[in-house]
Structures are given as structure tokens and as C-alpha cells.
Amino acid sequence: MSESTFRERFGDGLGTVEVVIYSMLAVLLAMTALVTTARAGKMLWDGLSRWSPAAQTLRVLNELLIVLMLVEILHTMRISIRSHKLMIVEPFLIVGLIASIRRTLVITLEAATLSRKGAWVSDGARAFFMAR
């Protein structure tokens, strides 16, 4: 067996392993996204049934933004599985943008919750600054 044939077969074998790993990760990410969506729906339903949707808003928003990040990662994995040679950067940028918006919204809503009484409590201020 020549060296070039060996390299070609070894490369093909690694490509197959890569596709298998991507496929398993895609299935796990899809299941996680479905479970997280169901969990967000249950949280919203519980908030509506108790007539307190404002209390659940932060948690539901956090869960739904996580689902968006998971879906964008799945989209990136689908592109990677379909085309081995072309890696597109835009899905990674979208995931980063969603993550930064999610973090900003969560910090803003936590700050509003902590300062609702008009004065910062020392424990609340400590929790807010530790969240960064």
C-alpha cells in the first residue's frame, strides 16, 4: 500500500468519524432544544395560571434565548455535515450575538428586580455584581 493511498483512506476514515460525532451531537442538541422549549412553555403556563406572568418573564425569556442559541448551533452543524470543505462564519456570529443579547437582557431584568423597592439591599447588590 503506498503512502498516498494510506493517507487518503485515513483521511476518509477520519471524515466519517467526524460526521458520526457531528450527527450524535446534533441529535443531543435537538433533544435539548425540544426539552428546553417544553420547559419554557410549562413555565409560561404556570405563570399565566397563577396570574403572575411578570414573575416568570425572566425565566421564560432566558429559556427561549437558550433555545435560539441551540437552534443556531444545530444550523451550523448541519452546514458542517453537508459540506466538509466549506465552513461558514455567520452562524457562529449569530450565536454570539444571541448570547450577548441574552446576557444583557438577563442582567437588566435582574437589576430591575433587585432595585424594585427603591433601595439596594447589600445582598442584592452583591448578587448583581457576582452575576457579571
pLDDT in tens, 116-126: 655 555 555 56
Per residue, what are the HEC states of the chain?
A: CCHHHHHHHHHHHHHHHHHHHHHHHHHHHHHHHHHHHHHHHHHHHHHHHCCCHHHHHHHHHHHHHHHHHHHHHHHHHHHHHHCCCCCCCHHHHHHHHHHHHHHHHHHHHHHHHHCCCCCCCHHHHHHHHHCC
Residue 129's pLDDT is: 62
Structural domain total, the chain: 1
Task: Name the pTM for this structure.
Answer: 0.62
Segments forming the whole domain that contains residue 7: 3-130
pLDDT in tens, 55-96: 677 788 888 888 888 888 888 778 777 776 555 666 667 777
pLDDT in tens, 13-29: 888 888 888 889 889 99
pLDDT in tens, 89-118: 666 677 777 778 877 877 777 777 666 655
